[in-house]
Amino acid sequence: MEFRHRRRRKQRSFCAERPSSLAELQEGETGVVVSASGGLGLVRRLAEMGLTPGVEVKLLRKCPLRGPVEIEVRGVCLALGCGVASKVLVKPAKEEQDG
């Protein structure tokens, strides 16, 4: 796992502690998956692709106009539609280090 964006995370550390969705991450930002909401089918597929609670994800890019996002998880690049990404809740990754 990469820890390249630690500095930016610190700047954000006072920001919302509540989990936000994967779709709300900025490009290059990292987060830790808290949970995924939605039907069991979707949650299960996400888990099978490696998006399980506690895993670190990095948002690589985002298409405009609520387009899909590309993330890196467990060394693999995944494309997620915006609807899917907004169902994955993440928290800032820093808590693992500081807390």
Partner 1 sequence: MVSQLRIALAGNANVGKSVIFNQLTGLNQTTGNWPGKTVEKAEGTLYFKGYTIRVVDLPGTYSLSAFSIEEIVARDYIAIEKPDVVINVIDASALERNLYLTQQLLELEAPLVVSLNQVDLAAKKGLKIDAEKLSALLSVPVVPTVAVAGSGISELLSAAVSVAFDEKKVQVRGVKFGEEIERKVELVEKFVAAEIPDLAAVYPVRWVAIKLLEKDQDLTSKLSSYKHGKKVLDFAYDLAADLEKLHGEPSPIVIASERYSIASKWAKETTTVETPPKASLEHRLDAVTTHKVLGYPILAGMVISIFALIFIGGNYLSDALNYLFANLAAYVDVALSPFLPSFAVDLLNKGIVSGVVAGVTIVLPYIVPFYLILAMLEDSGYLPRAAFLMDNLMHKIGLHGKAFIPLILGYGCSVPACIGCRIMETERERFLAAFVVVLIPCAARTVVILGLVGKYVGLHAALALYAFDLILVFVLGRIAFKVLPGEPVGLIMEIPPYRKPSLKSMFVKTWARTKEFVYSAFPIIVVGSVAIETLALSGVLQHVVYAGSPLLEGWLGLRAEAGAPLIFGILRKELTLVLLSETVALDSLTAVQMIVFALVVMIYIPCLATIAACKREFGWRKALAITFIDIALAFLLGGIAFRLLQMVRL
Q: Judge contact between 18 and 72, C-beta under 8 A.
A: no
Distance CA(27)–CA(4), nearest Å, equals 13
State which of residues 7, 14, 18, 65 lies at the interface with partner 1 (CB under 8 A).
Answer: 65
Structure tokens at 91: 């928290």
User: Interface with partner 1 includes 67 (CB under 8 A)?
Assistant: yes
State which of residues 68, 94, 95, 98 lies at the interface with partner 1 (CB under 8 A).
Answer: 68
Nearer to partner 1, 6 or 83 (CB): 83
Which parts of this chain interact with partner 1 (CB under 8 A)? 35, 40-50, 52-55, 61-68, 70, 74-84
